[in-house]
Amino acid sequence: MHDVHREITRWLEPLGATVRVDAVGNLRALYRASETPASRLLIGSHLDTVPNAGAFDGILGVMLAIACLEALEGKRLPYAIEVVGFSEEEGVRFGIPFIGSRALVGSVDDNLLNAEDAYGVSVRKAIQDFGLDPNEIGQAAFDPETRAYLEFHIEQGPVLEKLGLPLAAVERIAGQSRWEVTFLGRSNHAGTTPMNLRLDAIAAAAEWITLVEHVANTTPGLVATVGSVETKPGATNVIAREARVSLDVRHPDDRDRNRAVESLVEQAKQVAERRGLEVRPRERLSQAAVAMHSFLTSRIEEALRQTGCASHRMVSGAGHDAMILAGKIPSAMIFLRTPGGISHDPAESVAVEDVAKAIECGAHLLGQLASVPTFHSRMCRA
């Protein structure tokens, strides 16, 4: 990541931006306004991704932010632009997503800093090992004159490709719940223990996983995923005493999401009770659905029309830094078509012409905001 920061800095400084890395590892680049004092627009996305990932998730949004600055060709706007390359959006290492963007809104607390990875290294220690001071995280908060946040991101799904559209405005980000459900049984010999006398944790987990799929298939708009299964002792000839599974549930409506989660947790308890096992459900994350700012979304639609694209709004099933920033400042997102709908995989891709359209759309949007006097003084919430 140090190499990434150095490379991006090498691109930004010739454009007239001042670059720094804040105390939680976010890259911050300020392109000053034509006058001072001035309001500020944040444009960015995240620099981290998942194991075995593609080349565009998150990082493309940072590159498009830089491209928007480059397209200005040195012209200064009535407002400043701050490019942000967020750290730790995915939550892979510590099981906690959005660490970088949480720092901007002031929600990095001791509980988060004390969270540990699989090797017992805390977030606090990782920040120190990276060469930063966790005691300075409070200084990572966004500037009080910040008026809005804009994020470009690949769709990570098949909708835009199916519609034949290169870009879309995101009107809402679905809420998501993450749980860890552990079934506890008893190990015994696989060859000598009759089927009716087993306390098989894996069998219980398997039964429950099919229930997760059934609930998702029968609840409109809901997606539910068990993406990880860890078993102990993990030997082929031993009945498993423990099966720890992940649960990821998402829905645009928080009420439907919460009802589904409650039902699935209850069904896990019923499966365990029927089989004579113990179950330990643990919530890891509950992120509410977030609406994007109506004024900014309408401006994006106008920018889409100016580029010759059809205007389209859609819901994001994936979580993004925008949902964290939206709790404090008006936020908006622009999606780019994802060929094949493939993401979080090496086959992830984008079309060059779609990227060109995104840069053009961004340029139109920056021009629109420059001509809106209220943007320079205050943003009225819709």
Q: Does the global pTM surpass 0.75?
A: yes
pLDDT in tens, 291-333: 999 999 999 999 999 999 999 999 999 889 999 999 999 999 9
Q: Is the pLDDT of residue 353 over 60?
A: yes
Instruction: For residue 175, give the amino acid letter.
Output: G
Residue 373: pLDDT over 90: no
Topology of domain 175-287, CATH: Alpha-Beta Plaits (3.30.70)
Average pLDDT score over residue span 261-267: 98
Where do we find the tokens 């993450």?
178
Q: What mean pLDDT is predicted for residues 92-105?
A: 94
Q: What ranges do the domains of the chain cover? A: 2-174+289-377, 175-287
Percent of the residues in the chain that have a pLDDT greater than 70, as a whole number: 98
Q: What is the mean pLDDT of residues 2-30?
A: 97
The two structure tokens encoding residue 71: 């397209």
The Cα 87–Cα 321 span in angstroms is 10
Predicted local distance difference test score (pLDDT) of residue 36: 86
| H, E, C per residue of the chain | CHHHHHHHHHHHHHHCCEEEECCCCCEEEEECCCCCCCCEEEEEEECCCCCCCCCCCCHHHHHHHHHHHHHCCCCCCCCEEEEEEECCCCCCCCCCCCHHHHHHCCCCCHHHHHCECCCCCEHHHHHHHCCCCHHHHHHHCCCCCEEEEEEEEECCCCHHHHHCCCEEEEEEECEEEEEEEEEECCCEECCCCCHHHCCCHHHHHHHHHHHHHHHHHCCCCCEEECCCEEEECCCCCEECCEEEEEEEEEECCHHHHHHHHHHHHHHHHHHHHHHCCEEEEEEEEEECCEECCHHHHHHHHHHHHHCCCCCCEEEECCCCHHHHHCCCCCEEEEEECCHHHCCCCCCCCCCHHHHHHHHHHHHHHHHHHHCCHHHHHCCCCC
With tokens 């990082």, the residue in question is 59
| b (16+ CB within 10 A) / e for 344-381 | beeebbbeeebbebbbbbbbbbbebbbeeeebbeebee
Are 23 and 136 within 8 A, CB to CB?
yes
Q: What is the largest CA-CA distance in the chain?
A: 81
pLDDT-above-90 percentage for the chain: 94
Query: What topology does CATH give the domain 2-174+289-377?
Result: Aminopeptidase (3.40.630)
Q: In this predicted structure, what is the pLDDT of residue 376?
A: 62
- Residue 105 CB contacts under 8 Å (≥ 6 apart), including other chains: 141, 142, 324, 325, 327, 328
Residue 253 pLDDT greater than 80, yes or no: yes
Using CA atoms, how far apart are residues 286 and 193, in angstroms rounded to an integer? Answer: 40
For residue 375, is pLDDT > 90? no
Q: Can you tell me the mean pLDDT for 108-122?
A: 96
Would you state the pLDDT for residue 37? 87
φ and ψ at residue 236, rounded to 5 degrees: -70, -25
Among 278, 274, 135, 297, smallest CA distance to 211 is for: 274
Confidence of residue 382 (pLDDT cuts 50, 70, 90): very low
Digit-coded pLDDT (tens) for 49-94: 999 999 999 999 999 999 999 999 999 999 999 999 999 999 999 9
Mean pLDDT of 222-241: 97
CA distances, 5 to each of 10, 74, 282 (Å): 9, 22, 36
Which pLDDT score is estimated for 374? 75
Q: Which amino acid is at 41?
A: L
Chain mean pLDDT for the chain: 95
User: Cα separation of 69 and 43, whole Å?
Assistant: 10
**Residue 84 pLDDT:** 98
Given a cut of 80, is residue 378 above it in pLDDT?
A: no
Angle between helices 59-71 and 2-12 (to 10 degrees): 20
Provide mean pLDDT across the span 237-251: 97
- Residue 9: what are its φ and ψ, rounded to 5°? -60, -40
pLDDT attached to residue 377: 60
The tokens 């098949």 sit on which residue? 158
